[in-house]
Amino acid sequence: MKICMVGAGYVGLVSGACFADLGNTVWCVDKNKQKINELNNTKIPIFEPGLKDLIYKNFSSGRLIFTSDLRSAVKNSDIIFICVGTPTLKKSRSADLRNVFEVARKISKCIDRFKIIVTKSTVPVSTGDKIERMISKRNKKVLFEVISNPEFLREGEAIRDFRFPDRIVVGSNNKKAISKLKSLYEPLIKKGAKFFSTSRRGAEMIKYASNAFLATKISFINEIANLCEKINVNVEEVSIGIGLDQRIGGRFLRAGPAYGGSCFPKDTKALTVTGDMYKTDLSIIKSVIKSNEKRKILLTTRVKRILSNKIKNKKISFLGVTFKPNTDDMRQSTSLTMIPFLSKKGAKITYYDPTGKKNEFSSLKNVSFCNSINNACNNVDLVIIHTEWEEFKALDFKKLSKKNKFKIFDIRNLYSVKDMKKKGFNYYSIGR
């Protein structure tokens, strides 16, 4: 099939490359011309395991085309996926849909035959209705169909998630459009992915409800961890104990920092806006958002306590700063709250992340990037294990702290409390 992905970000680029790998011809469009130039020179703008090779393979075979020319990409394609960002509007909880509507307006100007327009971006319920109204101002209804096909891939595991999704959700009342999408996804359905079709609004809601539920699970176990710390119970054992109940399930029950990333924070907020709009109090989700905000403060307070309330001039090292491993995405990472706070209080911060230096910290006082774990931990007072990258899972702390015996705050619970105590380390973790 001939497909166009508008927005070559984490979702558009990965799914575009994967669709091409299934044998489709894919035009990846982005308004960021520099990004398109780089992609045309096989420079990959994001870090995602396996993506570089996949892009190279399909770009070389001519099945993956990068362009800023939306008009020709739309004209060439049968299915157009809108994959642009929908961040939170400034000083608001609402999703910023300007990019989505801008793309819809542009698409409406170049429809010359039947097109299926798919929102893969996460958009609030009824956005599909609005896009349809917008496009029908210029085009007869028989020439297009707007459907919802939310994306569930996780950064860091995006290619695997695309190839082996738990489910593919398609929202539309148009049988022709649903069957076209079903044949596009047929290779994945054959491998076991469940295909679920519902109404367009239903599909939009499924995406928000999924993310809100997962965020709730994380906040739930984080609060249980707070209690475990006070009652001398190991939260990991509690997670296992409750996760073994099949009604609950063990995933997303690992206590740690506040949830971050490009989806949960913005999607939980946007869902409460929809709730308010329809005069429905989504009190659970509102509490989850509050609990998550509190958690960021709680962790910095914990750092203060570990350092006996003396942050000024203390040397603190962060191992990992991204919101999770195997991605370079910094959006809503806990480090974006912790590092500025500690730097303001006079701490001297070094950080190491496998994906390199981060612009987010370049204007901060006394914050510097180190190109190795050794350099980052050299002569510091406290090491904070912030992200669970593989390379932080078996560190030789004896060697690292040879010059200066530092304290360790492991906010990902990567090490055993018993082992660390036995080795004589001042080791702090979460809920244990």
Question: Binders of ligand NAD among 100-139, rule CB under 6 A?
Answer: 102-103, 121-122
- The dihedral of CA 322, 324, 326, 330: what is its sign? negative
For position 8 contacting ligand NAD by CB under 6 A, the verdict is yes
When binding is defined by CB under 6 A, the residue of 5, 11, 330, 342 that contacts ligand NAD is: 11
Question: Phi first, then psi: what are they for 387, rounded to 5°?
Answer: -125, 140
Dihedral angle of Cα 260, 261, 265, 268, to the nearest 10 degrees: -120
| 6 touches ligand NAD (CB under 6 A) | yes
Please tell me the distance from the alpha carbon of residue 66 to that of residue 119, in angstroms, as a whole number. 20
Between 120 and 296, name the residue whose CB sits nearer to ligand NAD.
120
Greatest pairwise CA separation for the chain in angstroms:
74
Q: How far is the CB of 6 from ligand NAD (least distance, A)?
A: 5
Nearer to ligand NAD, 85 or 340 (CB): 85
- Closest chain position to ligand NAD (CB): 9
Q: Which is nearer to ligand NAD, 40 or 404 (CB)?
A: 40
Residue among 211 and 413 whose Cβ is closer to ligand NAD: 211
Would you count residue 168 as binding ligand NAD (CB under 6 A)? no
Dist CA 137 CA 410 (whole Å): 56
| Rounded alpha-carbon distances, angstroms, from residue 129 to 136, 307, 378 | 11, 54, 57
Q: List the one residue from 3, 5, 7, 326 that touches ligand NAD (CB under 6 A).
A: 7
Q: Indicate which residue of 18, 28, 263, 377 is catalytic.
A: 263
Least Å distance, CB 23 to ligand NAD, is: 23
Query: Considering only residues 29, 64, 235, 411, which one is a binding residue for ligand NAD as defined by CB under 6 A?
Result: 29
Question: How far is Cα 263 from Cα 66, in angstroms, rounded to an integer?
Answer: 25
Question: Taking CB under 6 A as the rule, does residue 263 contact ligand NAD?
Answer: yes
Nearer to ligand NAD, 105 or 304 (CB): 105
Shortest Cβ 262–ligand NAD spacing (Å)? 5
- Record the tokens describing residue 340, joined without a space: 């500025």
**Is the Cβ of residue 102 or residue 237 nearer to ligand NAD in the bound state?**
102
- Tell me if 369 sits within 8 A of 356, measured CB to CB: yes
Stretch of 139-147, 148-156, 179-187, 236-244 contacting ligand NAD, by CB under 6 A: 148-156
In 3D space, the residue among 147, 133, 65 whose CA is nearest the CA of residue 101 turns out to be: 133
**Shortest separation between residue 182's beta carbon and ligand NAD, angstroms:** 20
Site for ligand NAD in 242-261 (CB under 6 A): none
CB neighbours of 335 closer than 8 A, spacing ≥ 6?
Answer: 318, 320, 321, 322, 323, 351, 386, 387
Measured distance CA(28)–CA(68) in Å, rounded: 8
Site residues (CB under 6 A) for ligand NAD, limited to 30-59: 30-32, 35
For ligand NAD, which stretch binds (CB under 6 A), given 147-155, 249-257, 310-318, 417-425?
147-155
Question: What is the CB neighbour count within 10 angstroms for residue 136?
Answer: 14
With binding defined as CB under 6 A, does residue 317 bind ligand NAD?
no
The one among 51, 135, 153, 215 contacting ligand NAD by CB under 6 A? 153
With CB under 6 A, what is the number of residues at the site for ligand NAD?
26
The CA distances from residue 337 to 198, 300, 351, 384, in Å, are: 39, 8, 14, 14
Residue with tokens 């809503």: 332
Catalytic, 263? Answer yes
For the segment 65-104, give every residue that binds ligand NAD (CB under 6 A). Answer: 83-86, 99, 102-103
Single out the segment in contact with ligand NAD by CB under 6 A; choices: 138-146, 151-159, 351-359, 366-374.
Answer: 151-159
- Give the whole-angstrom CA distance, residue 223 versus residue 204: 29
Closest approach, Cβ 238 to ligand NAD, in A, equals 28
How far, in Å, are 85, 201, 322, 389, 412 from residue 317 at the CA level? 32, 46, 14, 15, 15
Confirm or reject binding of residue 325 to ligand NAD (CB under 6 A). no
Query: Are 82 and 106 a contacting pair, CB within 8 Å?
Result: no
Whole-angstrom Cα distance, residue 245 to residue 248? 5
- Give the residues lining the site for ligand NAD (CB under 6 A): 6-12, 29-32, 35, 83-86, 99, 102-103, 121-122, 151, 153, 155, 262-263
Point out the residues that are catalytic.
263
